[in-house]
Structure 1
Amino acid sequence: MSSTSTNLPDLPLPAGIRSRVIEGVNGLSVHVLEAGYGSNERPCVLLLHGFPELAYSWRKVMPVLAEAGYHVIAPDQRGYGRTTGWDASYDGSLTPFRLTNLVRDALGVVAAFGYRSVAAVVGHDFGSPVAAWCGLIRPDVFRSVVLMSAPFPGPPQMAFNFADAPLPPKRVDPVHHELASLPRPRKHYHWYYATREANDDMWRAPQGVHDFLRAYYHHKSADWKDNKPHPLKSWSATELAKLPTYYVMDLAKTMPETVAPEMPSKEAIAANTWLPDHELAVYSSEYQRNGFQGGLQWYRCGTSGAFTAELETWSGKSIDVPSCFISGKQDWGTHQRPGVFETVQTTACTRMTGVHLIDGAGHWVQQEQPGEVSRLLLQFLKTAAV
């Protein structure tokens, strides 16, 4: 189900942003958006989107960074949009979608443009762990890291000091059984996204892909007034059940069924300035064409545990380049994994220069509040370069 980018309509991009395809990047033809182009004498900033988004998610930030003197590159990541060369069949190999290969993709993009290092790698949502691993594995290339909406817990810990003691048994997480056993049975969206049915549920959504995405984006934004995040006490069913249903779903519901009741009114849609319908149409047309499985493969890599041993290669290592964290004040993503927001500020990153929760933004922070995100990014880039 790889995408095809031939004969597609031009994207409606702001002035100063161009769209192009770079061939031969780690087996991919990578579609990128680019601003501040024309000379690789400019310091480079790499922007990595999340799910279910695209390079297009950065359209409001890119011109500001370019105006400030940066060469800004935002790829459609593996499995997304107009990047081709990936196979997202459910029964295909997950290996190309594992985190270390996504870092290789990012490295390949900046190398293709002739950069041996970049000023910053910025990742939002599922782009955040990719950015984190970029800074962890190749700090010589990715000279600073901005994590957005998804704090980084650090690498998984390797079993330690067991030569003269029994190896601790592999722990089976009981939380999924406990969630399903609640009086109101629930399930975690990561594990739903790993099911065979999830792609078709969303691709063939009863309300159509466009209206599904509208409801999904609305539900996770500051426009949905019940988004009032707070820290959770533990990774337990009773605590996780406090999360909104887009994170901890009703057991029997699909994601389109979950968000459908939160569909904003026609008046609210018409009044939406951060994602008007003609901009949402960019996302809906790309996902109608490709489906969602390319992005869902990333979740499957995480929930399967198949690549944990590889990531344990960096057990005990921290991100030691300058870093910062940016999220919406109304974004539950900051707290969806209890304790990680604290960990990213203490042990996962050793040179975190700022933590910013932007009021008036939910999960789609660089789209909901692009001016403040741009200001914070430029402020960080200035301090990181010192």
Structure 2
Amino acid sequence: MSSPAFPEPTFVEANGLKLAIHEQGSGLPVIMCHGFPELAFSWRHQLPAVAAAGFRAIAPDQRGYGRTVDAATGRIPDGVEAYDMKHLTGDMVAMMDAMGIDKAIFCGHDWGGFVVWQMPLRHPDRVAGVIGVNTPFIPRGPIEPITAMREAYGDDMYIVYFQQPGVADELFGKDIPKSLRFWYRKSAVTLEDFDKAAPDAAKNLALTKLFEVPESEWGGDALLTPEEAAYYEAAFARTGFTGGLNWYRNFTRNWQRSENLPDRVDVPCLMISAANDVVLRPELTDGMEQFCPDLEKHVIADCGHWTQAEKPDELNALITDWLTRRFSTGS
């Protein structure tokens, strides 16, 4: 599938940022939050589809990414703490204030999924609904998360590895085109085959170990067209990867500061999983109904982690069908 024309950004000042925002359409806003290492551009197939369904589709480059910068310095924000969940959700509220938006539906993938599931817990008066793409709602666990991940998978598990300041930043920054080719690949195996035959490094999610093997052994077809790859490469050449990696470096801080938050999402929710996502596996949605009582779930077959680009037509159909059934358009 060729990429649709992607709208140029407008800029608003919000929460100390100069936020780059790409949008199409009118009606009830649907704010799309990307993950790592992504951009607003990752929603390039969804923006026109959601707009055509009668909604205002909005995709920002989030904190640390793309053309969004610190309003004072013109660079990505400094300091790990600047990327905690309070800032990430606060950015969305401040953006809505600057755009004159009272309530929105939030749609998030990967790390953006964590952000959108936190929005109704932290800012319930600003959220009309939530769509999780691959990323489920995960209630606060009893154990500090990095400790739990280290015990389960070891020190080379990618999120544990990312905790080291500057290390993954340098590894991925040395050859940005190669790094993006590594991340942006179609699903190579089914979950069943992965569980049976994947190497230990893969099963332990030691992604940086896999990054170091010859590129011919990575598996899966490249996902991006040359033009799409060039867009991402130019963006990460400007920012590097530190901003995005700093989101991971706040797992402990976010856990520590979320003790008194509710664990129930009382708005309409849509959960769309990908059958072959080996990190955000569909079974992670088991039991979500306990926390999201108004929940609809779907699984897209033959799809890996990068659902927006790997199966855009299937994802768009599920999103727009749910939006038009659950929300009046043109409001």
Q: Shorter-chain-normalised TM-score: which range?
A: 0.7 to 0.9
Q: CA–CA distance in 2 between the matches of 1:191 and 1:340?
A: 20
Given that 1:230 and 1:335 are in contact with CA atoms closer than 8 Å, whether structure 2 keeps it comes out as no
Aligned residues: 322
Given that 1:149 and 1:333 are in contact with CA atoms closer than 8 Å, whether structure 2 keeps it comes out as no
1:176 aligns with 2:150: yes
Given that 1:243 and 1:332 are in contact with CA atoms closer than 8 Å, whether structure 2 keeps it comes out as no
Q: Percent identity?
A: 28
Within the candidate set 268, 275, 294, 1:351 is matched to: 294
Q: CA–CA distance in 2 between the matches of 1:230 and 1:157?
A: 32
Aligned-residue offset at 1:350: 1.8
Distance 1:188 1:263, change over 3 A: closer
Aligned-residue offset at 1:249: 1.2
Question: Which position in structure 2 is the counterpart of 1:9?
Answer: none
Within the candidate set 235, 258, 263, 1:286 is matched to: 235
Aligned-residue offset at 1:246: 8.4
The one-letter amino acid paired with 1:298 is W
1:256 aligns with 2:198: no
List alignment gaps of at least 5 residues for structure 1: 1-11, 159-169, 181-185, 233-238
Aligned-residue offset at 1:244: 6.4
Distance 1:136 1:383, change over 3 A: farther
Q: CA–CA distance in 1 between the matches of 2:36 and 2:190?
A: 19
The one-letter amino acid paired with 1:81 is G
Given that 2:70 and 2:76 are in contact with CA atoms closer than 8 Å, whether structure 1 keeps it comes out as no
Q: Deviations over 1:296-338 (max 9, x none)?
A: 0000001xx2232321121x431110101112211123339xx
Aligned-residue offset at 1:378: 1.1
- The 5 Å alignment of 1:53-68 reads 53-68=38-53
Within the candidate set 214, 227, 230, 2:181 is matched to: 214
Given that 1:94 and 1:297 are in contact with CA atoms closer than 8 Å, whether structure 2 keeps it comes out as yes
Given that 2:29 and 2:56 are in contact with CA atoms closer than 8 Å, whether structure 1 keeps it comes out as yes
Question: Which position in structure 2 is the counterpart of 1:103?
Answer: 89
Aligned-residue offset at 1:139: 2.6
- The 5 Å alignment of 1:1-386 reads 14-15=4-5, 17-36=6-25, 42-85=27-70, 93-118=79-104, 120-156=105-141, 173=147, 176=150, 179-180=153-154, 187-196=156-165, 197-204=167-174, 208-218=175-185, 221-222=186-187, 224=188, 226-228=189-191, 245=202, 248-249=205-206, 254=209, 256-257=211-212, 260-263=215-218, 275-302=224-251, 305-314=252-261, 316-335=262-281, 340-343=284-287, 345-352=288-295, 354-385=296-327
Given that 1:216 and 1:259 are in contact with CA atoms closer than 8 Å, whether structure 2 keeps it comes out as no
- RMSD, aligned α-carbons: 3.1
Looking at CA atoms only, which structure, 1 or 2, has the larger radius of gyration? 1
Give 1 or 2: higher helix fraction.
2
Given that 1:48 and 1:127 are in contact with CA atoms closer than 8 Å, whether structure 2 keeps it comes out as yes
Q: CA–CA distance in 2 between the matches of 1:311 and 1:260?
A: 40
Q: Deviations over 1:207-230 (max 9, x none)?
A: x31122113211xx22x1x24259
The one-letter amino acid paired with 2:150 is H
Given that 2:35 and 2:110 are in contact with CA atoms closer than 8 Å, whether structure 1 keeps it comes out as yes
Query: SS of 2:12's equivalent?
Result: strand
Aligned-residue offset at 1:23: 3.0
Given that 1:362 and 1:368 are in contact with CA atoms closer than 8 Å, whether structure 2 keeps it comes out as yes
Q: CA–CA distance in 2 between the matches of 1:140 and 1:174?
A: 33
The one-letter amino acid paired with 2:70 is G
Q: CA–CA distance in 2 between the matches of 1:171 and 1:84?
A: 29
With the length of structure 1 as denominator, give the TM-score of the two structures: 0.74
With the length of structure 2 as denominator, give the TM-score of the two structures: 0.86
Given that 1:318 and 1:349 are in contact with CA atoms closer than 8 Å, whether structure 2 keeps it comes out as yes
Aligned-residue offset at 1:175: 5.8
Q: Deviations over 1:123-177 (max 9, x none)?
A: 000000100011222232111000111212123569xxxxxxxxxxx89947636
Q: CA–CA distance in 1 between the matches of 2:323 and 2:180?
A: 32
Distance 1:367 1:309, change over 3 A: same
Aligned-residue offset at 1:103: 0.8
List alignment gaps of at least 5 residues for structure 2: none
Given that 1:329 and 1:362 are in contact with CA atoms closer than 8 Å, whether structure 2 keeps it comes out as yes
The one-letter amino acid paired with 2:91 is D
Q: CA–CA distance in 2 between the matches of 1:367 and 1:44?
A: 22
Aligned-residue offset at 1:371: 1.0
Query: SS of 1:23's equivalent?
Result: strand
Distance 1:348 1:340, change over 3 A: farther
Distance 1:177 1:263, change over 3 A: closer
